[in-house]
Amino acid sequence: MDVAFSSAFLARSAEAAGFLAGDFRDPAARLISALRAAQRPIDPRLLAELRTQNEALGPSSARKAHLEALASPSGGYALVVTGQQLGLLLGPLYTIYKAATAIAAAHQLSQESGVRCLPLFWLQTEDHDFAEIDHCVVYRPQDSPLTLQLAPRPESRISVEHLCLGPEIETQLSLLREALSELPHAIPFLDQLTQHYRAGVSLVSAFSGLLAAIFSDEGLLFLDPRQPIVAELASPLYRRSLMMHREINTAMLTRTDALRAKGFAAQVRVRPDTSLLFFHPTGPTGPRYRLIHHDNGWLLPPQTGRDPLPELRYSEADLLTILDREPLRFGTSALLRPLVQDSLLPTAMYVGGPGELNYFAQLAPLYEQLSVPPCLFLPRARFRCTDDACRSLLRKLAFPAAQIEASRTALLDQIPRIAPEPQSAPPNLSTLRQKILADAETQLTTLAAQEKSLTDAVERTRRSLRINVDRLIGKYQRRLHERDRVHSDRIDRLQTLLFPDGVPQERVYSLPYFASRVGLLPFKELVLHSLREQSPFSEIYAVRELEL
């Protein structure tokens, strides 16, 4: 979940921090969060699972060193965590930006606090919304954007953990190769993609394998929570969320009212009768549904579709028995997932997008009710990538890149005032015609009155003048239209790259064009260099510029 930064949070970020566990910009708050996290050891069974998962991602000396640090008997480490849905080819660019922000924040927090802080990516493998992750959009400088898409799945509401790539991935990668093969670094990047994205490979393995390869040198760790041991360790939290349903929902609704009273939107709707858990009625690999509280028990409403389910009813005792036997038949909602993360891991800081910032502001009463220590929330860094052609167009329009993130109409309205030519706004053409003819008419009328023999000549001149003025005005009008078409084309080309479909570039385009233009690792280095030059704990709502 990653939407445009709420204007309320941007304008009143300090007040927003009052709804969170603390303000990431406060050095004392960062120190306290790191020290507190370092006092919470990871369960040895989870450590073993982390080692197994990360060793399967391929060799990385940095990742190996981080795993050894986590397993150290002396402890004293903390984590900076981020996470994301498993979009095709890593999904939008902000996936890379989240991971890079977590890496930079872990490094700086280590230096500030003296606590060894490590970056970890929480894979959103419980999620079942395949339509949100089955595609990606690729920028093409000489053509319209290319959308790559996986084939629809007949199964519905099944967690991403249990889905694999179909044979259509080969066709999609062929389209990508055809679209980008002329770019200087396309071939090695596309070859690397095909190592991870292959028919029969799980979506989880493809996504985590590619992201792990990109950040191998930085030792980014990964955790797939849709595993039996993770569900077992989270089951006490699941149990409390079921048994304390009424108290939790009352507190959450009160927090929602408080947010609205301050002018903030509640990102996730809290329903008084809905559980914070998802339930898989037919087994862990089957579809998952939200449970509805009804008559002192729980109801799974009748489901339609390819494999319809009848209405199912469970007592609380029934669900708790299933939870004890098969905890993997339960999973988290957006509101409960952060608490599972912070109950299992020594999280000092979570790096999230603007949508997550909004719903983290809802969570304080949930942390309190379930006795889970909250961490600090750090907004991910934002970036805007420009290439040579883009910067040339910006110079011709005399626009800064940030200005392109406006409506097309507003930009066109600003061109006469900003563009080098013309220096002033064009006159109203109807008014200009009337003024020219009125001035001439005054002189012609005076001349005809003074010399009657010139009456016919004056009338011929008057008719000729009207015809020629109309021709001149027509030529001027066509010139203005031509100039507007040039500017319109420039704006369209710029917005296609920087503000596609009226939203920032980082939320639409995936990695392929940018990595194919400058190289995969150089692109990563550009992002990390920016984060080293300007602290991830600075006021990072401003977009950072990346010149490719």
Residue segments in the chain with a per-residue pLDDT below the cut of 70:
1-19, 265-267, 302-310, 416-427, 429, 477-483, 539-541
SS3 524: helix
- Please state, as a whole number, how many other Cβ atoms lie within 10 Å of the Cβ of residue 366: 23
Q: Could you tell me the pTM of the whole model? A: 0.86
Residue 201 exposed, middle or buried by CB count within 10 Å (0-12, 13-18, 19+): middle
d(CA 164, CA 204): 8
Would you state the structure tokens that stand for residue 194, as one six-digit string? 């095909």
Distant-in-sequence, close-in-space partners of 373: CB < 8 Å, separation ≥ 6: 36, 40, 342, 367
Q: Where are the beta strands (DSSP E) in 387-524?
A: none
Q: Where are the beta strands (DSSP E) in 209-306?
A: 221-223, 274-279, 289-294, 297-300
Would you state the structure tokens that stand for residue 475, as one six-digit string? 């030529």
The long-range contacts involving 203-209, CB below 8 angstroms and separated by at least 24 positions, are: 203/86, 203/133, 203/160, 203/163, 203/164, 203/165, 204/86, 204/123, 204/125, 204/160, 204/161, 206/165, 207/86, 207/87, 207/90, 207/123, 208/57, 208/86, 208/121, 208/123, 209/57, 209/58
Proportion of the chain above pLDDT 90, given as a percent: 60
d(CA 90, CA 276): 27
Nearest CA-CA partner of 173 in 146, 193, 151: 193
Q: What pLDDT sits at residue 1?
A: 36
274-308 burial, b at 16+ Cβ within 10 Å, e below that, comes to ebbbbbbbeebebbbbebebeeeebebeebeeeee
Would you state the structure tokens that stand for residue 78, as one six-digit string? 């903390």
